[in-house]
Chains A and B, each alone.
Chain A
Amino acid sequence: MNAEVKAFAQRLDLKRGRVDMSHGSGGRAMAQLIEQLFLRHFDNEWLRQANDQASFAVAAGRMVMSTDGHVISPLFFPGGDIGSLAVHGTINDVAMSGARPLFLSAGFIIEEGFPLADLERIVASMARAAREAGVPVATGDTKVVERGKGDGVFITTTGIGVVPPGVTISGELARPGDAILLSGNLGDHGVAIMSSRENLEFDTRIVSDSAALHGLVAAMVEAAPGIHCLRDPTRGGLATTLNELARQSGVGMKLQETAIPIDPAVSAASELLGLDPLYIANEGKLVCICAGEDAGRLLHVMRQHPLGRRAAIVGEVIDDPHALVQMETAFGGSRIVDWLSGEQLPRIC
């Protein structure tokens, strides 16, 4: 090693250094950033080959691909950060087709001046999330934009997976008589985010539920390969996801408010801000629509899994030409659970 010419004059100052335009220019500075930050954490056989692409054999079967850009603010929140979110989010999108996720790619757009310490924190978190999920980040890209043209960092992840034979899960397959299942508590992620945003501070023990759901999905698909729909209720919450599925399938839905699991702290935070938990984002939950006769078995399997302990049957699919999602309230009346219009803003009135 002593005889080798040192590739880089100095180590990256990961404590106090900042990203600058040279880190995105394709030259030595960029190579150093990749080697001493990204590769150090993501380390796997594909990245070690140091090519612009990752090469692997593909299992026979139907492939699934999904991509997501992550632009959240704040970048760090209780229970996660933009990095872990980017990994979990794309793994989940792939898994919602019933597929087993195989690989991820990660593209970074970093704003000039972004602290390297924060970048490392994010990358380490992503690497850990990928490792724990067993889904490697096989290839990636880095660009740097001028100060003022980014929001710290944007991350785009793309994932591919393979669907087990005999499994067809899709949004237009819900049918009247189907059961609607939810894997756990609503609203944790959105409330965790809001608790760290300025002007809306409050102390709460709620942390984001951000998690990779492919293990739970695998268990569910094994128990009931005939599942009709799976979707994760992220932006816009459960209400938006169910409205999407209702419209895609041309059916209506009827929910039972008393059956919907919500952490009391999330309830309290929603009351405070005048928000409806049905519309708050989740990052580690899924909605499953299945034939009525599969519901009991699926519920049991979900509850055995750490990410499905609070799973519940929350409603049923009905015939409805208007494709409305309705809910019987805990109070005994009924209401429509509509699409979200615009962003849900805290209100005073």
Chain B
Amino acid sequence: MRYVEEFRRRDLAQRLAAAIAREADPARQYRLMEFCGGHTHAIFRYGVQDLMPPNVGFVHGPGCPVCVLPIARIDHAIRLLEQHQVILCSYGDMLRVPGSGRHSLLKAKAAGADVRMVYSTRDALNIARQNPQRQVVFFAIGFETTTPPTAVAIRQAREAGLKNFSVFCNHVLTPAAIHNILESPEVREMGTVSIDGFFGPSHVSAVIGSRPYEFFAEEFQRPVVIAGFEPLDVMQSTLMLIRQLNEGRHEVENEYTRVVSRDGNLKAQALVAEVFELRRRFEWRGLGEVPYSALRIKRCYAEFDAERRFAVTLAPAAEVRGCECPRILRGVKKPVDCRLFGNVCTPDNPMGSCMVSSEGACAAYWSYGRFRQPAGEESVA
């Protein structure tokens, strides 16, 4: 597999590890937040932390759109099934996420609801075409990487004159999330979470470009390196962050140049701008309300907006007591700091989204890292 295997070579890993060990200043700590679930996954799956010196550690941020989706939105999706008997098409990631009362799409399916797992919005459109008598709703989630495909689907639905297709839109925006973390009291004022630098998300950046991060680097005086998500990319980016920190720089650098440019994918951005607009506010699980952080379907495409098409009654949603997902998502606590972790809350029986998504900090930690205290990861809170 070209462009995949070369970026996993062990010999190159050794070299990068040696360079990092040489350049990391033993007199200081380097706490680097990887915002993106793909990076969390790469770090754990390949054991990248093992190749780091003890003073270089990764903080896992809220870069998992599954993890940050509020319980109320999952409840909404389930109510669409229960109140309107729609066919709900969803990516696999969402099926096990617990909503209120630990209900989930998978459990709704077991109870008879028509939930269908799809790999692509194209599959959802096909299902709508094949079932003209039924209403088909696509459960749209994801950051900026996944939004353009939804935009394309909505436009195609219009071109095809589909009357039975709509989208339940939960697309969220990365810069807003990063901003929210950096502005949070723990980081800004209290200084209890020191985040020295960021790994910029790989594929969000492929769409939005590297330009949007320039604001953060400047405003918060922290370096950002846009990193590919193969393990060698992560290591090279670590080296680049260490260098910036050693040299007192706070710039946006791009390690993932084979895919990411400063402007990004303008065609995709234009399609998104045609179909979606900003919500004034949107609640993120763990981060609370974040202004201008999420998208909704524009009025000119209102007929494809499931929130407008279907009225739904919702009970107020509440987080499970004791669940530390909110703090874990902000990097303030570690999975082991949550008293539910490992006893009540396990991947088989997830209480919160950090455990359900395989990229959630808790799931990743459970699957790959528990029982070992990786070097560089001390408990902060």
A binding-site residues for B, Cβ under 8 Å? 199-200, 264, 267-268, 271, 273, 276, 322, 324, 328-336, 338-339, 341-342, 345-349
A335 touches B45 (CB 8 A): yes
A336 touches B93 (CB 8 A): no
What residues on B are CB-neighbors of A328 within 8 Å? 47
Beyond contacts A199-B119, A346-B119: 4 other A-B pairs, Cβ-Cβ < 8 A, are: A322-B371, A336-B368, A339-B348, A348-B91
Please give the number of chain B residues whose Cβ is less than 8 angstroms from any Cβ of chain A in the complex. Answer: 47
B10 within 8 A of A: yes
B131 within 8 A of A: no
CB distance from A320 to the nearest CB of B (A): 9
Which B residues between 188 and 243 are near A, CB-CB below 8 angstroms? 231
Chain B residue with Cβ nearest A258: B10
Asked whether A333 and B117 contact (CB < 8 A) given A341-B347, A349-B64, the answer is: no
With beta carbons under 8 angstroms apart, the residue of B93, B96, B347, B372 that contacts A348 is B93
B92 touches A345 (CB 8 A): yes
With beta carbons under 8 angstroms apart, the residue of B38, B50, B66, B347 that contacts A332 is B50
A336 touches B8 (CB 8 A): no
Q: Between A and B, how many residue pairs show CB distances below 8 Å?
A: 98
User: How far is B14's CA from A341's CA once the two chains are assembled, in angstroms?
Assistant: 33
Chain A residue with Cβ nearest B357: A349
B371 touches A324 (CB 8 A): yes
B96 touches A335 (CB 8 A): no
Asked whether A347 and B10 contact (CB < 8 A) given A271-B1, A341-B348, the answer is: no
Chain A residue with Cβ nearest B127: A199
B binding-site residues for A, Cβ under 8 Å? 1, 4, 8, 10, 13-14, 17, 37-38, 44-51, 64-66, 91-93, 95-96, 106, 116-119, 123, 142, 146, 231, 346-348, 357-359, 366-372
With beta carbons under 8 angstroms apart, the residue of A333, A342, A345 that contacts B51 is A333
Ordered by A's residue number, 7 sampled pairs between the chains whose C-beta atoms are within 8 Å are A329-B46, A330-B46, A334-B47, A335-B47, A345-B92, A349-B66, A349-B357
B38 touches A349 (CB 8 A): yes
User: How far is B146's CA from A348's CA once the two chains are assembled, in angstroms?
Assistant: 9
What residues on A are CB-neighbors of B51 within 8 Å? 331-333
User: How far is B46's CA from A336's CA once the two chains are assembled, in angstroms?
Assistant: 10
CB distance from A130 to the nearest CB of B (A): 35
What residues on A are CB-neighbors of B116 within 8 Å? 199
User: How far is B77's CA from A205's CA once the two chains are assembled, in angstroms?
Assistant: 38
With beta carbons under 8 angstroms apart, the residue of B64, B348, B359, B370 that contacts A342 is B348
With beta carbons under 8 angstroms apart, the residue of B10, B92, B231 that contacts A346 is B92
Chain A residue with Cβ nearest B365: A336
What residues on A are CB-neighbors of B368 within 8 Å? 335-336, 338
A329 touches B45 (CB 8 A): yes
A271 touches B64 (CB 8 A): no
What residues on B are CB-neighbors of A200 within 8 Å? 119
Chain A residue with Cβ nearest B350: A341
A331 touches B46 (CB 8 A): yes
User: How far is B346's CA from A271's CA once the two chains are assembled, in angstroms?
Assistant: 25
A331 touches B8 (CB 8 A): yes
